Structure 1
Amino acid sequence: MKLALITDLHANREAVQAVLDHAHAHGAQRYAFLGDYVGYGADPGWVIDTVRRYVDAGAIAVGGNHDAGVSEAPSPQMRPEARLVIEWTQQQLNASQLEFLTSRPLSATDNDMLFVHANAFAPAEWEYIQGRIEAVRSLHATTCHYTFCGHMHEPKLFHLSGTGKAGDFVPTPGVAIPVPPHRQWLVVPGSAGQPRDGNPAACYAMFHLTDQTLTFHRVPYDHDLAGAKIIAAGLPPRLAERLAHGQ
């Protein structure tokens, strides 16, 4: 079975549609969404409705910090422009869309897999996996051999051996990586809706459960259109510029 792992969609309709089309074309049989459906982009309602349709068909969907900011209250750590977009987003959503965000769990487990937005050690505190220290701390917090998380907008793969030896690397898009279960793995697919590694192409990953391989993908999309919609909505122009440069 192939499982598509999609995170940090950030209300970017063009990127999300491109990723979903790519995953379908590459044989995805199930989907997991790792949070932050809203924030930064101009199409929060469309993204929520789209993810909800996948959830109704059996997909996993956990909540992120931007989702909690819209359905509850913004985190004090959020930057001013992120808080501004959250306030704007709250005015764009209907009651059922807000309820979908409110009902998202912080984490979910399924067949030796943990799905969470930020980390496994303190999901509600939204701490980032910035390197091996945080990755190992997260892996120590679960017995699952596979942890999938978002929050960091750059694709990365961490692993931990049974003897405690940790490693990490930046994956090459399109190259299948063996991920045997004698190690623990922490997968950060990268952001579908707002990549920040200097490459504007949308990110996602595909986990082949049968073959025990993981493939990271980059998917070009019309970031100019997505950016133009951000500006037309009256949101900060810098958010459109970030899409064009992958920053």
Structure 2
Amino acid sequence: MRWAFITDIHANRQAFEAVLADARAQGATHFALLGDFVGYGGDPAWVADQVMALAADGAIVVQGNHDEAVAHGSSPTMHPDARVVIDWTRAQLNEDQLRFLSRLPLQAHGEPGNCLFVHANAFDPKSWEYVQGRAEAVQSLHASTARIQVCGHMHEPMLYHLSGTGKAGDFRPLSGVPMPLPGHRQWLIIPGACGQPRDGNPAACYALLDPGKSDLDDARVTFQRVAYDVEAACTALRATDMPPAIVERLARRLTQGE
């Protein structure tokens, strides 16, 4: 059994297609999708349909802050650019898609083994606070007894751990290099963004988990980077009727990985 963890797709069809193809080629048979399926990108309806299909096929799916905002509509307190993108995205989705996004849980427990899946953090999922470093990672790990947490929201891949004595550490993973997850520690996996990476590398991110044979005691995680057709994703953005200035800012983020 091999799991693929995918998060922050952000309506980027080209990145999502590439990641799904790569995950299946790598032998992934199970999927956990960690929120922010819409927002920023040019293909929210297509991405929503794919996520719904994966959920119907047994994938674990949790809600992200962009999913919540699009499902319920923008507010006057939002940044003007964000409000435009949310309103445009909402207008592209049908009632079934909006209902699906609105009803997603904030977190889910389950296979593989003792895992917790949540978009932002485990200490206050509804706050959408970021795990920006070791302090927030420890706070999230303390909030659950799950041996492995998997979070999105941060658009850069990262791996944190916490020992039984309270000693914490972190790793900035290398793509394609399996990392063991010894059972005497808790682990927090942040796969990085599929649809809008922000670490200077435009290649899409996701992670693979091999649970091992003894309730995750010999589990391994492999962080993956997948090149995709960034220009096609930018073309999809430019084909929308969002204001050109906003579109170009979003396209630059894709091309620069920022």
Alignment map for 1:1-247 (pairs within 5 Å): 1-74=1-74, 78-110=78-110, 111-210=113-212, 211-235=218-242, 236=246, 237-247=248-258
Residue identity (%)? 57
- Show CA shifts across 1:44-87 (max 9, x none): 01001001111111100000000000112447775432221110
Go from structure 1 to structure 2 and tell me whether the alpha carbon gap of 1:68 and 1:53 turns closer, same or farther (over 3 Å shift).
same
Alpha-carbon distance between aligned partners in 1 of 2:174 and 2:88, rounded to the nearest angstrom: 36
Go from structure 1 to structure 2 and tell me whether the alpha carbon gap of 1:77 and 1:246 turns closer, same or farther (over 3 Å shift).
farther
Residue 182 of structure 1, CA deviation? 1.1
Go from structure 1 to structure 2 and tell me whether the alpha carbon gap of 1:78 and 1:148 turns closer, same or farther (over 3 Å shift).
farther
Give runs of ≥4 in structure 1 deviating > 3 Å: 73-79
Structure 2: gaps (5+ residues): 213-217
* 8 Å Cα contact 2:73/2:90 also seen in 1: no
Query: TM (normalized to structure 2)?
Result: 0.93
Moved more, 66-75 or 197-206: 66-75
Alpha-carbon distance between aligned partners in 1 of 2:132 and 2:151, rounded to the nearest angstrom: 12
Name the SS of the counterpart of 2:11 in structure 1: coil
Alpha-carbon distance between aligned partners in 2 of 1:79 and 1:167, rounded to the nearest angstrom: 35
Go from structure 1 to structure 2 and tell me whether the alpha carbon gap of 1:152 and 1:230 turns closer, same or farther (over 3 Å shift).
same
Moved more, 189-198 or 227-236: 227-236
* 8 Å Cα contact 2:73/2:87 also seen in 1: no
The AA in structure 1 aligned to 2:129 is E
Structure 1: gaps (5+ residues): none
Name the SS of the counterpart of 1:239 in structure 2: helix
Go from structure 1 to structure 2 and tell me whether the alpha carbon gap of 1:117 and 1:88 turns closer, same or farther (over 3 Å shift).
same
Query: TM (normalized to structure 1)?
Result: 0.97
Alpha-carbon distance between aligned partners in 2 of 1:123 and 1:75, rounded to the nearest angstrom: 20
Name the SS of the counterpart of 1:240 in structure 2: helix
Alpha-carbon distance between aligned partners in 1 of 2:205 and 2:78, rounded to the nearest angstrom: 23
The AA in structure 1 aligned to 2:168 is A
Name the SS of the counterpart of 2:187 in structure 1: strand
How many residues matched? 247
Residue 229 of structure 1, CA deviation? 1.2
Alpha-carbon distance between aligned partners in 1 of 2:160 and 2:205, rounded to the nearest angstrom: 17
Go from structure 1 to structure 2 and tell me whether the alpha carbon gap of 1:188 and 1:74 turns closer, same or farther (over 3 Å shift).
farther
